[in-house]
Amino acid sequence: NISVVDPGELVRLAGLKNAHGLGISQVVPYPFMPTLPVIREYQTLLARHAPGQQVNYTSFEQFLGAKVLVEALRRAGPGPTRAKVIKALESMGKYDLGGVSVGYSPANRVGSRFVEVTVIGSGGKLMR
């Protein structure tokens, strides 16, 4: 499966027996343990600005994307336009978000090739 799926929803819909052991490819690091500075930042800001919301892969991936966009807007300067933001992204090169790096250039708009696999464990929770 792919990272945009909610493992809890899979367990609910398919049942634990059927979901147990399912591998899910993740395109960002495991966000549940604050092992990297950017994960600690994400968890702190999520708790402060969205109390009650659970840490999950989807919102962490969106958080990283927002950080990249903010940096591109900063580099684009006053009065950012689509062209200025694209140029800022293309000139970004390798950019460290806090333990997670992305990289952009005119020839590379992928940003990251990070992939790891998690598995739905016997208790219905994700395991690394």
Count of beta carbons in the 10 Å neighbourhood of residue 68: 17
Q: What would the pLDDT profile of 39-70 be if each residue is shown by its tens digit?
A: 999 999 999 999 999 999 999 999 999 999 99
**Per-residue CA distances from 17 to 5, 10, 82, 113, 124 (Å):** 18, 11, 48, 32, 9
- Give the pLDDT of residue 128: 87
Q: Which of 1-15, 45-59, 67-81 has the lowest mean pLDDT?
A: 1-15
Pinpoint the alpha helices (H) of 1-128: 7-14, 16-19, 37-49, 57-76, 82-90
**Residues whose CB is less than 8 angstroms from the CB of residue 86 and which lie 6 or more positions away in sequence, other chains included:** none
- Beta sheet of 116-120, edge-to-edge order: 23-26, 116-120, 126-127
3-state secondary structure of 109: strand
Distance CA 116, CA 16 (A): 22
- Beta sheet of 108-111, edge-to-edge order: 93-96, 101-105, 108-111
| pTM summary value | 0.90
